[in-house]
């Protein structure tokens, strides 16, 4: 549950509470504190996602100039030098260009200096 969903539930609970039995103020404070925690956890998650993307980009960039082996689509093992890399996006895997062939980084089997 993200922070927006949590806030919508909290507002709905307050809006539709029984006027003859209002929510206890300590319960409201507890729910508000829980909302703050959900928001903080969401922010931490967003920061971790950003740091992971930077780490992946750094790792991919470090492959340039390295000798690598990979399993080709026909099942053979091919060796070559990485000339460039394409950084991963949300929908694509990072790719290394080895001897002019774009190879998904996940298919690399050996990396040497």
Which of 17-26, 43-52, 102-111 shows the lowest mean pLDDT across its residues? 17-26
d(CA 82, CA 65): 5
Q: Contact 88/97 with Cβ under 8 angstroms?
A: no
Q: Evaluate if residue 5 carries a pLDDT over 70.
A: yes
Location of structure tokens 């001897």 = 99
pTM passes above 0.85: no
pLDDT value at residue 1: 67
Location of structure tokens 């909302």 = 35
Q: Where are the domains of the chain?
A: 3-57, 63-112
pLDDT value at residue 91: 74
3-state secondary structure of 50: helix
Reported confidence tier of residue 60, pLDDT bands at 50, 70, 90 = confident
Which residues lie closer than 8 Å to 80 by C-beta, 6 or more apart? 67, 68, 98, 99, 101
d(CA 47, CA 66): 30
pLDDT value at residue 76: 94
| Model confidence pLDDT, tens digit, residues 93-110 | 889 999 999 999 889 999
């Amino acid at each position: 549950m993200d922070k927006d969903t949590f806030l919508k539930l909290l507002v709905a609970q307050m809006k539709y509470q029984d006027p003859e039995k209002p929510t206890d103020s300590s319960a409201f404070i507890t729910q508000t504190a829980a909302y703050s925690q959900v928001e903080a956890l969401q922010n931490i998650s967003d920061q971790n996602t950003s740091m992971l993307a930077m780490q992946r980009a750094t790792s991919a960039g470090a492959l340039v100039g390295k000798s690598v082996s990979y399993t080709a689509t026909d099942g053979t093992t091919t060796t070559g030098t990485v000339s460039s890399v394409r950084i991963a996006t949300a929908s694509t895997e990072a790719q290394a260009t080895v001897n002019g062939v774009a190879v998904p980084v996940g298919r690399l089997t050996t990396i040497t200096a």
